[in-house]
């Protein structure tokens, strides 16, 4: 019986997530474990799940000899040293979409609470007073909201506020124009324009050097008098000192905050302001969101341990689930193409060029190139190379990598991937495509036209193109009870060297290879495994 891989869950996740893990893995629940204690045991585990307390740093990763994946049950990854994980081929996954709905809804809740004075009205009623004249609010209908960051949460907020009859502006220099159109938001080129035109401003960006304090004193100087602001993203994106000053001066009429520059934040002077709704960073804290976080991180960890690609992995190119489904056959094809070179030629590689033509050129091909590099390196590095570190290993070996895109190819294929591998004194070109049912086919190798269906055991044989060569070759295989499943022959010209490819049903050992090489007319025999 195969021994289960082991995961240590160092911080609490939902019961549903734990149960999903237990169906597949050996689960060790260590909720609240101290950093030093985890250091002592981490070498025994294939996977680690954390939230925000445990530091997944160089010290921990250096001891985690078996570690393949770190799962962050949540969105932020401030506690994980991603470059160190990448160098070791450790995949880092998180759950950026699991709390999206909850965070978007909390944004709307804080916005409505602040503009309708709900917290203050609640306190007054509970104190025994009744005076509604103190709590006159404003409507959303017909107003303009400026959304800073049109990612997962920002786009949900956009659609929800549009349903209130609001005009939606958005500022996000890293989002395509198509996404603005998709969510009904008018794109503004500069943050300053958004601030000037907006009656309401809500921020939905990660916390980076670029975004810290991006809504500050300078922005409040140019804002409409009576503007209202909300921050359910990360503390510090709206500068708290500048916000306090702007509220005291009447520039900002109300605010809703779920996040703060310092957390926990007891005694924060911002809590003393009127017309502000505040919550203790609980925007994602719903029953549904926490269940989704637990189940999602469990499924992502399991998929990673199975060697599958995971959508939204932190240290891989970002892929949405639908993109991954579309790309997966191309990833398989590219990896198999990559495996060909070092099994046919052992010369060190100087440069790799991957060209995409046809419909595949319209896709995000970065992950396909990484898949080719993974296949290229596996025959010489083995399990140490994976999707996470393939590009980094290639770079450290001094191999230059380039990718090109073409609308069409001159071979008539709807989709074609062509890889050119350059060494000091050699050059090899390998091309592949997908069949109508999206199965991989290698259609040329070393200048030979082929129709190769990659299987586990294959022989690539170069031979003189003349009668009396293929028959004796097949006879030797028959002597060793090696069955030929498929066979193809490609040649450049009559009487020249041809390429024979054979799919066989069993492994071909060195003794058989040596016998095959002795056959008259055979110039090269290579075992290729996919």
Q: Which residues contact 524 (CB under 8 A, 6 or more apart)?
A: 460, 461, 462, 517
Closest C-alpha among 74, 28, 34, 66 to residue 50: 74
Q: Which of 281, 411, 420, 515 is an active site residue?
A: 281
Closest C-alpha among 270, 231, 265, 267 to residue 247: 270
Tokens of 356: 């995409």
DSSP 388-429: TTHHHHHHHTT-EEEEEEES--TT--SEEEEEEEEESS-EEE
Q: Exposed, middle or buried by CB within 10 Å (0-12, 13-18, 19+), for 262?
A: exposed
Contact 406, 100 (CB under 8 A): no
- Concerning whether 466 is annotated as a catalytic residue, the answer is no
Q: Which of 43, 217, 263, 507 is an active site residue?
A: 263
| Strand order from edge to edge, sheet including 186-187 | 186-187, 167-171, 144-148, 200-203, 227-231, 252-257, 276-278
Tokens of 207: 């916390």
Quote the CA–CA distance of 107 and 160 in Å, as a whole number. Answer: 10
Residue 179 CA, chain-centre distance (Å), reads 19
DSSP-H helix ranges across 198-312:
217-222, 240-248, 287-305
Tokens of 278: 């505040």
- Concerning whether 281 is annotated as a catalytic residue, the answer is yes
CA distances from 358 to 306, 405, 417, 446, 456 (A): 31, 9, 9, 22, 28
- Concerning whether 510 is annotated as a catalytic residue, the answer is no
Q: Which of 106, 234, 240, 335 is an active site residue?
A: 234
Count of Cβ atoms closer than 10 Å to residue 206 Cβ? 16
Quote the CA–CA distance of 378 and 142 in Å, as a whole number. Answer: 59
Quote the CA–CA distance of 525 and 513 in Å, as a whole number. Answer: 7
Tokens of 114: 């602040």
Q: What is the widest separation between alpha-carbon atoms in the chain?
A: 105
Preceding omega of 438 cis (within 30 degrees of 0): no
Which sequence positions are flagged as catalytic? 234, 263, 281
């Amino acid at each position: 019986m195969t021994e289960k891989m082991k995961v240590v869950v160092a911080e609490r996740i939902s019961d549903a997530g734990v149960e999903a893990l237990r169906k597949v893995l050996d689960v060790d629940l260590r909720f609240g474990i101290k950093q030093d204690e985890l250091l002592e045991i981490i070498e025994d585990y294939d996977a680690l799940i954390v939230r925000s307390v445990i530091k997944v740093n160089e010290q921990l990763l250096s001891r985690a000899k078996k570690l393949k994946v770190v799962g962050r049950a949540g969105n932020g990854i401030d506690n994980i040293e991603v470059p160190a994980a990448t160098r070791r081929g450790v995949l880092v996954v998180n759950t950026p979409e699991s709390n999206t709905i909850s965070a978007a809804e909390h944004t709307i809740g804080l916005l409505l609470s602040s503009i309708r004075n709900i917290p203050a009205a609640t306190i007054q009623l509970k104190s025994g007073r009744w005076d509604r004249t103190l709590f006159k609010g404003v409507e959303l209908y017909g107003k303009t909201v400026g959304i800073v960051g049109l990612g997962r949460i920002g786009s949900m907020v956009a659609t929800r506020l549009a349903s209130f009859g609001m005009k939606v502006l958005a500022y996000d220099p890293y989002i395509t124009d198509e996404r603005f159109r998709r969510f009904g938001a008018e794109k503004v080129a500069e943050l300053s324009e958004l601030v000037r035109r907006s009656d309401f401003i809500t921020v939905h960006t990660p916390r980076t050097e670029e975004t810290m304090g991006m809504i500050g004193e300078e922005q409040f100087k140019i804002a409409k008098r009576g503007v209202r602001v909300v921050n359910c993203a990360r503390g510090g994106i709206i500068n708290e000192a500048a916000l306090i000053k702007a509220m005291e001066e009447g520039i900002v009429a109300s605010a809703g905050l779920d996040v703060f520059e310092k957390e926990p934040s007891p005694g924060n002077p911002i809590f003393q302001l009127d017309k502000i709704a505040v919550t203790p960073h609980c925007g994602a804290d719903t029953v549904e969101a926490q269940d989704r976080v637990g189940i999602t991180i469990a499924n992502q960890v399991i998929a990673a341990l199975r060697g599958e690609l995971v959508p939204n992995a932190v240290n891989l190119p970002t892929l949405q689930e639908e993109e991954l489904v579309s790309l997966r056959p191309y990833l398989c094809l590219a990896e198999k193409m990559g495996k060909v070179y070092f099994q046919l030629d052992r010369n060190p590689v100087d440069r790799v060029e991957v060209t995409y033509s046809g419909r595949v050129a319209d896709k995000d091909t970065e992950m396909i190139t990484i898949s080719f590099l993974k296949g290229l390196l596996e025959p010489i590095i083995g399990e140490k190379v994976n999707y996470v570190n393939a590009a980094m290993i290639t770079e450290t070996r001094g191999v230059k990598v380039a990718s090109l895109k073409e609308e069409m190819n001159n071979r008539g294929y709807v989709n074609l991937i062509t890889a050119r591998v350059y060494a000091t004194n050699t050059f090899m070109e390998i091309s592949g495509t997908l069949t109508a049912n999206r199965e991989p086919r290698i259609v040329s190798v070393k200048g030979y036209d082929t129709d190769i269906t990659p299987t586990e055991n294959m022989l690539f044989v170069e031979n003189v193109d003349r009668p009396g060569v293929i028959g004796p070759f097949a006879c030797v295989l028959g002597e060793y009870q090696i069955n030929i499943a498929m066979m193809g022959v490609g040649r450049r010209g009559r009487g020249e060297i041809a390429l024979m490819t054979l799919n066989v049903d069993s492994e071909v050992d060195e003794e058989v290879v040596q016998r095959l090489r002795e056959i008259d007319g055979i110039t090269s025999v290579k075992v290729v495994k996919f």
